[in-house]
Amino acid sequence: MKKARFIPIITTMAIMAVIFMLSAQTRESSSELSTGITKRIVDIVASVTNMSQESKASVVTGLHNFVRKTAHFTLYAVLGFSASAMFGGLRTKDRKWRIVLYSIAFCCLYAASDELHQKFVSGRGPQATDVMIDTVGAFFGSVLFLPLLKRWRRITDD
């Protein structure tokens, strides 16, 4: 087995560790992180549009949930991309659609276990909608990897 095959395995495990650590945050810590990111985004927009402080606070409140759900989608898109590279390197004889299915199933199971994990974190709880958003993100990331699969297999098979 080529050393290159281990790169997406390590990357996938690292992304899963980041997701686990983010899910282990208390409700207050998680909310503080996403609110901080939302404020930074609004500050950038406000610097261009000359937005008042009251408007900024209102926009931050309105965008907070959107930013949280976008973060779910994005993290799992990255995980789906990495998982596709992992399965693409390990399952070299499988067709592209099987690689995508393996990746999506893997990410969906991890998303479900991640939501279950949140049941045991202070102030947090599992949400089926997050599993759906995560799975759609994983699908997106997996599909983004497909054009690279043939080249990746050449690298890992040499």
Instruction: Determine the straight-line distance between the first and last CA of the chain, rounded to whole angstroms.
Output: 9
Cα–Cα dist 155/149, whole Å: 10
CA-based nearest residue to 138, from 4, 6, 16:
16
| Per-residue model confidence as pLDDT tens digits over 8-66 | 999 999 999 999 999 999 989 998 999 999 999 898 888 888 888 888 888 888 898 99
- Look at residue 108 and tell me whether its pLDDT is greater than 80: yes
User: According to the model, what pLDDT value does residue 157 have?
Assistant: 67
- Look at residue 5 and tell me whether its pLDDT is greater than 90: no
- Say how many C-beta atoms besides its own lie within 10 A of residue 86's C-beta: 24
Q: For the whole model, what pTM was predicted?
A: 0.86
Percent of the chain's residues with pLDDT above 90: 56
